[in-house]
Amino acid sequence: MSDFLKQFGEDLKKNVPGFIAVSVAEIRSGMSYYSQSVLSDFDPELASAYNLEVVKAEMNAIRALKLQGQVVDNVMITLTSQIHIIDVSDNQEYFIYLAVDSTKANLGMTKSILNKYKKEIAHKL
C-alpha cells in the first residue's frame, strides 16, 4: 500500500465525522487499492464491488442519453442511519467509496476532504 493511500485513510478516519469505512477502487478492473473500516462487520471491499456496478450503470446511462461532456462526479446513497458516498476521480478511472454515520456526518466537511483526495488519486495511483 502506498504512503499516499495510508495517509488518505488516516486523514479520513481522523477528520470525517461519523467515519465508518472507506475504499479506493479501480473502475476498469474493480480492484481495491485500499480499504479500512472501524466496524469489524462492515467490509468496504465488498461494498466497493457492489458500488462499482452503480458507477458503471451511471456511466452507461450518460452514454445512452448522449450527454456529451458529462461525467460522473459522485453518487450519494442515503440509508436510514448511514450515508454512502461514491466519489469518482477526475480521470474517471478510480472511485472512493465512503460510508459515514448520518447522525454524526458533516457533509460539507466530508465533501471538501474527498474533493482534495480525488484530484490526487488520479495522479498518484
Question: Would 125 be classed as within a structural domain?
Answer: no
Reported pTM:
0.92
CATH number for the domain that contains residue 90: 3.30.450.30
Q: Which of 47, 46, 51, 24 is nearest to 35 (CA)?
A: 24
- 111 belongs to a structural domain: yes
pLDDT at 33: 93
Query: What is the domain count for the chain?
Result: 1
Q: Say if 124 falls within a structural domain.
A: no
Full domain range(s) for residue 28: 1-119
Q: 7 pLDDT exceeds 80? A: yes
Is the residue at 23 inside a domain? yes
Assess if residue 107 is contained within a domain. yes
Rounded Cα gap, residues 60 and 17, in angstroms: 33
pLDDT tens digit sequence for 64-98: 999 999 999 999 999 999 999 999 998 999 999 99
